Structure 1
Amino acid sequence: MLLSAPHGWGAPSAWLARWSHLVPAGGSVLDVACGAGRHMRWFADRGHVVTGVDRSPEAVDAASGFGRTLLADIESGPWPFAGQAFDAVVVTNYLWRPLLPDIVAAVAPGGVLLYETFAVGNETVGKPSRPDFLLQPGELLSASKELHVVAYEDGYLDEPARFVQRIAAVRPTGALLRHALKVDPPNQ
């Protein structure tokens, strides 16, 4: 009998793989709610220094082979990365709204946020179906307003059937911000 791989193992999210080239070479990556570490593995295999956090001891144990892991209940305890910044922050299939500001704040200048999770509509095709775990239209865009959005999608995907929002967004550096705002650098 062929057994399926435990949750979190297997191929990375297609969205994450598509936009992972935005992460600076050799940069640090934080995987929030990392599960067994499929995304940690993806980035470690590409030469990145990876950190994963999850509340499941089994998940943290499985992911520990790919980088630094931290066992923490980020929904009940303090955000363990306060004051730290990463070249990429990755979140898939996870939503805890009170953490959205902390997650976005953890993106370093020039770093990228790669986020993909379930959205309203998913209750019509499966789980999660509780509104607490489904993004409202435009919610991920609003949470990422201080970042430069490179790509964003909000809609339905097949196999498995699901409704998602996903974003790839970069924190502007001084030069990018000046360009975006069309502000000339000071004369020297």
Structure 2
Amino acid sequence: MNKWDQRYQQASEPGTACELLAENLHLLPAKGRALDLACGLGANALLLNQQGLTVEAWDCSAEAIKRVEEFSAGLVASRQIDLESVTPPLVHFDVIVVAHYLYRPLCHWIQSALNPGGVLFYQTWHQLKQSDKGPSNPDYLLAPSELLTLFPHLDVRFYREEGDCGDLSRGQRDMGQLIAQKPSL
């Protein structure tokens, strides 16, 4: 059993959706297909489903996928896929959400998988984080402003990276956050 399966094995609830998605639901399309990529227990997928979208949830952990299926009562299509060893199929989505996951070679695929007008919600750890939460390996941490460069063919709608600026006791200090949209044809 891998470390992710062990982490998700005892889960009794999906947790909460990422802050970026939960606070920006007004940027979602009224209908369409959505993907919760590296979904974990599927909190983002469940929120997307509640907004009326047709949702898929992908993760490398068999245990996570099992839990997503339980929590969603079959309303979310799930797929076990190791995104770092298998090229994902090129399917198209109107929304893609990525939270707490960074695998840079996948960024081109994400841009390609968005339909014209599609929206990307991306939130993950950065090098200037102020807490000890999240990974410590720099391979899984965004460099300053890096998130802005990973999706060059998308239009930025929202960006946030506070790092070590100002009053460190306030704000979103550990994450880089991006909402970007693929230009319409």
The bucket for the TM-score relative to the shorter chain is 0.7 to 0.9
Call closer, same or farther: CA 1:69–1:159 in 2, change over 3 Å. farther
Q: Is the 8 A contact 1:152 1:168 kept in 2?
A: yes
Other structure's SS at 1:166 match = strand
Aligned to 1:135: 142
Aligned to 1:14: 19
Aligned-pair CA distance for 1:159:
9.1
How many residues are treated as equivalent by the alignment? 168
Aligned to 1:75: 84
Structure 2 residues without counterparts, runs of 5 or longer: 1-9
Call closer, same or farther: CA 1:133–1:173 in 2, change over 3 Å. same
Q: Is the 8 A contact 1:123 1:130 kept in 2?
A: no
Aligned-pair CA distance for 1:160:
11
Other structure's SS at 2:87 match = coil
Call closer, same or farther: CA 1:70–1:159 in 2, change over 3 Å. farther
What letter is aligned with 1:132?
D
Call closer, same or farther: CA 1:7–1:92 in 2, change over 3 Å. farther
Other structure's SS at 1:58 match = helix
Other structure's SS at 1:144 match = coil
Please state if 1:100 is matched with 2:107: yes
Other structure's SS at 1:16 match = helix
Match of 2:94 among 87, 92, 106: 87
Q: Is the 8 A contact 1:29 1:88 kept in 2?
A: yes
Q: Which has the larger radius of gyration?
A: 1
What letter is aligned with 2:151?
S
Structure 1 residues without counterparts, runs of 5 or longer: 175-188
Match of 1:28 among 33, 39, 42: 33
Aligned to 1:182: none
Other structure's SS at 1:122 match = coil
Aligned to 2:179: 168
Match of 1:109 among 101, 113, 116: 116
Q: CA-atom RMSD, angstroms?
A: 2.4
Aligned-pair CA distance for 1:158:
6.5
Distance 2:123 2:12 in 1: 16
